[in-house]
Structure 1
Amino acid sequence: MTAANALRLLSLAAIWGASFLFMRIAAPALGSVWLAGGRVLGAALFLLLCAAWLKRLLALRVHARHFLILGLFNSALPFWLYSHAAQHLSASLMAILNATAPLWGALIAALLSRQALPARVAFGLFLGVAGVALLVGFTRQQLSAPVLWAVLACLGAALCYGIASNYARGHSEVDAFSNAHGSMWAASFLLLPWLPTAVPAQMPGWDVAAAVLALGVVCSGVAYLLYFRLLAELGAAQALTVTFLIPLFGVLWGWLFLHEPVGWHTAGGALVVLLGTALVTGFNPRVLWRKTELSP
């Protein structure tokens, strides 16, 4: 891994970690539907400008069904679920729960292949569940039905990412940039009919508008471009290390800007979840470090 790619990886983790901060700011004012809709539409418009600059046409008619499926599970539904959760959970907790996405992806892959899970993967899934239980179980002063539903919404969003990753793996005929661009327009189309059902009571302030703009342009549009660049240059295995960095930045931004407390259960739960994710994905930091040392 070159120094440039290491910087891209850290930047991507910092950006995606900040998405939970921005959702926490905007969700109480906009609600889940309008926040998710604003995010995907902002990303779609940004990627449209990029496509015009790069002179890349989008074959919507040819791949319409593919973009709709990817847009539903990779953007519209998880963004909606996270936007709902952001009205009840801290940015730190959402960022950590997001790290369960590879666990869901591994479980879905095993179900699709109808093969038994290896012992390492099964133990990793167990640790992931234990980490979530540790995170939620020791926030007794905050436990309520809305909070528990919000936790389930976060896990449901991570499950959507697991579905999307398995689906995209079997449809490599569409290039990465087109997947990002087309799926964002598809997600906008899917969320559009729901907007009249949940109109915000009042116009949002500049801080909310800035948070939505940052979510769309930076946390979705720019982040996708960074991620696909890493995929092309490093491959999926090393690009996956961003999964382990996002919770660290999510907790940092929540503590720094929203003054969210970081108790022992937050650190302990995050560590258990990430350890489970490492076991499931086969992540080995020593191998990554050796590759970094040998890279020019």
Structure 2
Amino acid sequence: MSERRSAVLFVLLAAVWGTSFMAIKAGLEAFPPVLFAALRYDLAAVLMVGYAAVTCDYWLPRTRADWLTLVVEGVLIIALYNAFLFVGETGVTSGVAAILVGMSPILSTVFSRLFLPDQRLTVVGTIGLLLGFVGVAMVARPTSSNPLGSEAVWPGLVLLAAASVALGSVLVQRLDGDISPEGMVAWSNVIGAALLHTISLGLPSESFADAQFSLAGVAALVYLAVFASAIGYVVYFDLLARLGAIEINLVSYAAPIFAAVSGWLALDETLELLDVAGFVVIFTGFVLLKRHALATELSPVLDRVEGLLPGR
């Protein structure tokens, strides 16, 4: 029953986080992008602070490490990630955005090597890293005549979003604050929302007067705040305790499926064959980079599957 519950929760999390890319795209019709992200985390912060206060004893920051952890989370994982992602999605489809964000586990390895120089990439790991960037090039498809032209800006911003969350994840691991995961998410949402509002106010292209609180826009906002943020993180931490960090990273590679399908159903978006091929190349790079950890984490699951086969 526990394994079945974990499988159901894994699919649920992939579905919620995958469809969030579609919700972002839909909500951008009603709200300026950074303001939209800020409003999302206004609501999410209220929900998560309330949840943390009720369910955790250690939900308020107490130490310097706690505060540094919250600042890193709030700045990199909430504010910069969402600012880059929401602006980037104004120029790419839901599915493409989800595929590019799938680079974050690969970029986490790059940042880990930078902060832990004694850990070197093997030849196979280097090939995996290069495959990740080849996959990005296949998805972004910059033209050879002008690789830094306007058509490359939007996927480039989404890739910066992936880099922000990857760097933030590595730094949080090094800081090792003691605050509960729920408290960490709650207060980083508060910090991130405040910073997103500051960024929005500083952008001449954004104004609260441009926000249109239409039914579709509000529905997208509520979906992102309640399901993708609040409920999504509760499920995430449940799975993290059950499965571990390596297996939970696989959500990044299941989410694009839900992003592409929901974008097609709700917004009439399509993925080109080269986008799908790029996704496969990025995932292959991830497998090569994490092959040892994946083998260790997944071997008990594979052993149980083999035991269910006929003749075993």
Q: TM-score, normalised by structure 1?
A: 0.90
Of the three residues 151, 174, 177, the one matched with 2:179 is 174
Aligned residues: 294
In our comparison, the structure showing a higher alpha carbon Rg is: 2
Change beyond 3 A, Cα 1:202–1:262: closer
Summarize deviations over 1:141-165 as a string: whole Å, max 9, x none. Answer: xx99443111111111101111111
Which letter does structure 2 place at the counterpart of 1:176?
P
**Alignment deviations for residues 12-54 of structure 1 (CA, whole Å, 9 cap, x no partner):** 0011101110110112431221111012112111112313432
CA distances 1:181-239 after superposition (whole Å, capped 9, x unpaired): 11111112222323434214252311011101111111111111111111112221222
Which of the residues 88, 101, 105 maps onto 1:102?
A: 105
Please, which moves more after superposition, 70-79 or 184-193?
A: 184-193
Q: Distance in 2 between matches of 1:55 and 1:288?
A: 31
- Which of 174, 192, 196 pairs up with 1:191? 196
* Structure 1 equivalent of residue 272 of structure 2: 263
The 3 A distance-change label for structure 1 pair 289 and 80 is same
Unpaired runs of at least 5, structure 2: 308-312
Q: What CA distance in whole angstroms lies between the structure 2 residues aligned with 1:233 and 1:65? A: 27
CA-atom RMSD in angstroms: 2.5
Match of 1:237 in 2: 246
Distance 1:38 1:65 in 2: 24
Aligned residue among 91, 95, 101 for 2:94? 91
Residue 12 (str. 1) matches residue 26 (str. 2)? no
Q: Distance in 1 between matches of 2:179 and 2:255?
A: 27
Tell me, what secondary structure is at the counterpart of 1:2? helix
Instruction: Summarize the alignment of residues 1-296 of structure 1 with structure 2, pairs less than 5 Å apart.
Output: 2-54=3-55, 56=57, 58-60=59-61, 62=63, 63-114=66-117, 115-137=119-141, 145-172=149-176, 173-197=178-202, 198-200=206-208, 201-282=210-291, 283-284=294-295, 287=299, 289-290=301-302, 293=305
> What is the one-letter code of the residue matched to 1:279?
L
Which residue identity is paired with 1:39?
A: R
Q: Please give the alpha-carbon distance, in whole angstroms, between the structure 2 residues aligned to 1:258 and 1:35.
A: 18
Q: Percent identity?
A: 23
Larger CA deviation: 25-34 vs 80-89 = 25-34
Unaligned segments of structure 1, at least 5 residues: none
Whether the aligned pair in 2 keeps the contact of 1:44 and 1:185 (CA below 8 Å) is: yes
Distance 1:261 1:10 in 2: 22
* Mapped partners of 1:294, 1:168: distance in 2: 37
Residues 129, 289 of structure 2: 8 Å contact kept: yes
> Residues 288 and 266 (structure 1 numbering): CA distance in 2 closer, same or farther, change over 3 Å?
farther
